[in-house]
Amino acid sequence: MNHAFCIPNCPLSTFNCQLLTFLPIRAMLSRRSWMHDVLPNRPGGTFFMWKERNPMAQKKLMRDLTVGRLTPVLLQFAIPVMLSNLLQTAYNMADMVIVGKYVSSAGLSAVSVGGDVMHFYMFLGMGFATAGQIMISQYVGAGKRAALNEVIGTLFSFVFLLAAGLGIVGALTAGPFLDLLNAPPESRDGALAYTVCSCLGMVFIFGYNTFASVLRGMGDSRHPMIFICLAAVLNIVLDLLFIAVLRLEAFGAALATVMSQGVSFLLCLIYLYRNREDFGFDFRLRSFRISRGPLGTVLRLGIPIAIQSSAGSISTLFVSSFVNPYGVVTSAVSGIGAKLNSIALIVANAMNVSGAAVIGQNFGAGRLDRVRGVFFRVFLVDLAFVSTLSILMLSFPEFIFGLFDSSAAVLAMAPLYAPVAAISFMGFAFRSPSLALINGLGHSKINFLMGIIEGFVLRIGLTLLLGVVLDLGVQGFWYGSVIASYGYGIVVFPYFFSGQWKKKKSIAR
């Protein structure tokens, strides 16, 4: 239905009728440009003017990733994801840098330990968001647009209920969780405040990641980048306000992150509502009903991915429980190491997410030759990036660690951690294409297997062997943890070269 709404020089002439038609929040979220709501653009219009856009002139939300030269298609999709990851990493690192400069090593340790707890919950949620991306990319590739409304509605409702439940449980159990991790006494109170605040904002964190996954499944990686860009700027401003000015320490870092993620979530929601016709979801209340069929697929795909992700997180928490008793300085060094890993993951995760989206659409369309090409391209891009990063880490460890914490004790440990970081970086070159393949195919069994092998068999097994049995101390725990990331390549690369993946049936068929 087309609306041409104008309040001329006598603004009450048609306003009352239109006001009864649209609720204020619906008007805010509607598909009309906000600039047109407040700026006249034709004679006689002096205050409001609403005008329906021409549907044929609108840019389609979905993008076909099954056509075109493969390298440009992959990189054009991946670059916005890389920028999104860079911005997310920037505002996560802003917490560490600003806390390190304005608080102390204890504050840095609090953010690090609290962040470890939050990663566990976030990985659970991301498992189901990734399941949504897999489903949507394969449905789009197979041309089954009509099924999207039911799939998206089920995904949204399930993830939001999960986020609310995990947020409450996480806030109530934060203290015992930190005790299990042997959080240093100097940083425990700060870590508790950080964890509780982050858990209470979990709906925003899960919500944005789910919306972004759905958009990427449809071939749109640009808009998630725009939303996270605005959130990153806001996060850094709020970090400075809450930490440097108001002295809220670790709690301020968590509050800044939650508020900025909330902005990303709301911007994404508004964008999707305004483009609901192209998006394939009408946002009607009945469409949020959880349907049995899509829920079964979300659970079948999401639970193994969540196990795979959370197993890695649980095993990392296990390692932290051995590292933290070495003191606040060692805990701070481990926290900096985790942030350095997040730099390597800017490209690795971007290529993983992008590769999975391109593989998903092409696998749904039966383009197996392009699936193979994506795997090799993801590996080569990752290998080039992490090799460069490893060389820099080994060459300038004190300088790099000094960007986070300039205390003499932390800088003295930097050369000890540098080779650990380099080994970790190189593992991502094998991990990223492996995840892109198994997630793009929707291979839940391999996801489950990877979680067990990497998390419980390799990471926990190697850390106990090197740190406890061989008594190598904290370095044994560090090396055991990072060597485990090669487990993906050990399993998935032989599977890929065997060609057995070609026998997998698409979800959309």
Q: Is a pLDDT exceeding 50 seen at residue 87?
A: yes
Closest by alpha carbon to 373, among 355, 393, 397, 350?
355
Angstrom CA distances, 508 to 136, 146, 362, stand at: 9, 12, 12
Widest distance between CA atoms in the chain: 85
Instruction: Give residue-wise pLDDT tens across range 445-467.
Output: 787 888 888 888 899 999 999 99
Half-sphere exposure of 244 (CA within 13 A, CB side): 13
Q: Token pair 């449809």 is at which residue?
A: 218
Report the alpha-carbon distance of residue 424 to residue 426 in Å, rounded: 6
pLDDT tens figures, 36-85? 333 334 333 333 333 333 333 334 566 788 888 999 999 998 998 888 88
In tens, the pLDDT along 239-280 reads: 899 988 998 888 998 999 899 889 889 988 888 888 887 777
Residue pLDDT, tens place only, 198-254 = 999 999 989 988 988 888 888 888 888 888 888 888 988 998 999 889 988 889 989
- Treating both helix axes as pointing N-terminal to C-terminal, what angle do 70-102 and 368-395 enclose, rounded to 10 degrees? 30
Q: Is the pLDDT of residue 307 over 90?
A: no
**Cα(49)–Cα(6) distance, integer angstroms:** 5
Bridge partners (DSSP) listed for residue 51: 4
**Per-residue pLDDT, 376:** 95
Q: Could you tell me the two tokens for 273? A: 């509502």
Are 81 and 238 in contact by the 8 Å Cβ rule? The answer is no
Over the chain, what is the mean pLDDT? Answer: 82
